[in-house]
Amino acid sequence: MAGVTPLLKDELDIVIPTIRNLDFLEMWRPFFEPYHLIIVQDGDPSKVIKVPEGFDYELYNRNDINRILGPKASCISFKDSACRCFGYMVSKKKYIYTIDDDCFVAKDPTGKDINALEQHIKNLLSPSTPLFFNTLYDPYREGADFVRGYPFSLREGVPTAVSHGLWLNIPDYDAPTQLVKPRERNTRYVDAVMTIPKGTIFPMCGMNLGFNRDLIGPAMYFGLMGDGQPIGRYDDMWAGWCTKVICDHLNLGVKTGLPYIWHSKASNPFVNLKKEYKGIYWQEEIIPFFQAATLPTECTTVQQCYIELAKQVKTKLSAVDPYFTKLADAMVMWIEAWDELNPSGDESAKLVNGSAK
């Protein structure tokens, strides 16, 4: 039964990191214009970023970030799109949609333009089903349901914290894969949304991502990347692994699949390899860490979970590299900054009522 998807225009901010320009917004205008934009300008703050006419926005460059956060600004990456998480922190809305400036409107197989934001909203407003796999994918979509054998007590689902969209054209590959397969394009439109099961980690890409900021915002820290850091292109990955562990603990869901956007630019694989190089090795330690991470039942808010995770990162990953000690400290700083900018009354009052499992 088709209902009209609420616009949520006063409840959702669109966060866009950029160093170039925002010309891509012209193509998105029919879908984005009702919404407030938060532009996080990375790179040289003296450069003026031109925002197309008609959009309602706030823009922050490095000077603004430094001014607003003071010493805590050091937790926000510089010269890396990871800086976008500053936008999550300063937003006052319930939902965030974040998109890269080389992502355009895709078409579905019928040739129709895809309203990615609308699909993300659908995903976020309907429950997730992390506790048991439904073979017909998202049971809350029109024309689908839970299949035979799906326990009835699990059919209410859990609140959806994250909606992870995908990309046609240039796929989100790492540097080795880009070097080996420079011509591969993602042309396969998979008409599905699904919940990533509890206990399963995934690679969260920040190019086309929606989330419920009230539910999971503080976990969406995109780490220390870029200038002065030994690693890049693991910002969204880091946020995704932390977020998934916390969602699993608090009984929140993460969906992946639709909507697609059209990813137009392939980043330079040689540059990417430099950025990712250490990550290729570190990942091998990081993944088992997250797979084994458990959070105590006393951690009942996202912030508490995140601080606990930071402790565990410091204890268990510092042996991998001192970077993780720095990162753990930055994670704590992030939470402190988050709570300062979002004092109890809006954020902490909305404690997640997820039952800690």
Q: Residue 51, Cβ neighbours under 10 Å: how many?
A: 17
Using CA atoms, how far apart are residues 229 and 222, in angstroms rounded to an integer? 13
Question: Bridge-partner residues for 129, per DSSP?
Answer: none
Using CA atoms, how far apart are residues 10 and 131, in angstroms rounded to an integer? 32
Q: Which is nearer to a copy of itself, 94 or 275 (CB)?
A: 275
Q: Which is nearer to a copy of itself, 63 or 200 (CB)?
A: 200
Q: Which of 4, 50, 71, 188 binds a copy of itself (CB under 8 A)?
A: 188
Q: Which is nearer to a copy of itself, 13 or 172 (CB)?
A: 172
Q: Least distance from C-beta 256 to a copy of itself, angstroms? A: 5
Tell whether residue 191 is a contact of a copy of itself (CB under 8 A): yes
> Which residues from 90-109 bind a copy of itself, rule CB under 8 A?
109
End-to-end CA distance of the chain: 34
- Displacement of CA 50 from its chain's centroid (Å): 25
Q: Least distance from C-beta 228 to a copy of itself, angstroms? A: 22
157 contacts 127 by C-beta, under 8 angstroms:
yes
Question: Binding string, 152-171, against a copy of itself, x = CB under 8 A?
Answer: xxx---------x-x----x
290 contacts 241 by C-beta, under 8 angstroms:
yes
Best CA proximity match to 256, nearest among 198, 204, 199: 204
Tell whether residue 133 is a contact of a copy of itself (CB under 8 A): yes
215 contacts 167 by C-beta, under 8 angstroms:
no
Q: Which of 196, 215, 242, 309 binds a copy of itself (CB under 8 A)?
A: 196
Which residues would be at the binding site for a copy of itself (CB under 8 A)? Answer: 109, 132-137, 141, 143-154, 164, 166, 171-174, 176-177, 181, 184-192, 196-205, 233-234, 236-237, 240, 256, 276, 280, 283-284, 287
